[in-house]
A = this chain, B = another copy of it.
Amino acid sequence: ELAALTAQQFQSGLLAGKKVVITAGPTREAIDPVRYISNHSSGKMGYALAEAAAEAGATTILISGPTQLATPDRVQRLDVTSAQEMYDATMASLEGCDLFIASAAVADYRPAQLAEQKIKKTGQDTMTIELVKNPDIVTAVAASQPKPYTVGFAAETQDVVSYARGKLERKKLDLVIANDVSQAGIGFNSDRNAVTLVWPTDEETLAENSKTQLARDLIARISAKIT
């Protein structure tokens, strides 16, 4: 309790007067009215970042895919389902945005056709789903004018840091937070995480910690860059 209070006092005001937009959770891409493609993101890291940003005094908008999480205090939450909806909500939230953090696990592809009725099982032993690419939200934000400080995530199962650096450069991001989701006990659906911050000119690893504490540390580091 004392530690929490101290952390809060430490962070208080770091982002006063700033507007922060954060995406969180998975997206769901409908195949038909009952089936969908999704992923194992719980949204916990994004919600923790939103909480830490609000603690730091930012006006904080959390654009969330389907999760089981409670909205943090003083955070304005917009619920979306698909990647396209998340893209639209993000673009509509960018005015005056100082910091954008893309922590959602957005589906890269969605089914090319959305069946209006539940697809019936056929006699066939195989079936094919055709997918088309979704809009790339973090790339679109990084290309917007004026550009907010734009932070991406790289949740990978191998070569995490080198992939993160490639993403940073390819998408013209300001920071990529890399985490290895193949490690047991951290990442997706866990309350703990360990990440490597990949900036344009250096890297920094934050040891395993609760997502709450890690989020405060991340917000403190990012605040130092944008204020």
Contact = CB atoms under 8 A, between A and B. Distances in A.
B126 A128 contact: no
Can you list the 10 inter-chain pairs with the closest CB atoms, starting with the nearest? A127-B131, A108-B121, A129-B129, A35-B39, A118-B157, A34-B39, A117-B157, A125-B133, A109-B127, A33-B157
A31 interface: yes
B127 A128 contact: no
Contacts of A126: 109, 112, 130-133
Nearest to A159: B117
Given A157-B33, A157-B117, A131 B128 contact: yes
A106 B107 CA distance: 22
Interface residues of A, number: 36
8 contacts: A34-B155, A35-B38, A35-B40, A36-B38, A68-B68, A118-B156, A118-B157, A127-B131
A61 to B, nearest CB: 25
A118 B158 CA distance: 8
Given A34-B157, A35-B107, A129-B129, 14 more contacts: A33-B182, A34-B181, A35-B37, A35-B39, A35-B40, A68-B68, A109-B126, A117-B157, A118-B155, A118-B157, A121-B133, A126-B132, A127-B132, A128-B130
A182 B128 CA distance: 24
Given A126-B131, A131-B129, A133-B125, A36 B34 contact: no
A189 to B, nearest CB: 11
Nearest to A127: B131
Contacts of A124: 133
A128 B35 CA distance: 17
A182 B132 CA distance: 26
A105 interface: yes
Interface string A131-174: 11100000000000000000000011110000000000000000
Contacts of A128: 128-131
A31 B37 contact: yes
A47 interface: no
A188 interface: yes
A45 to B, nearest CB: 14
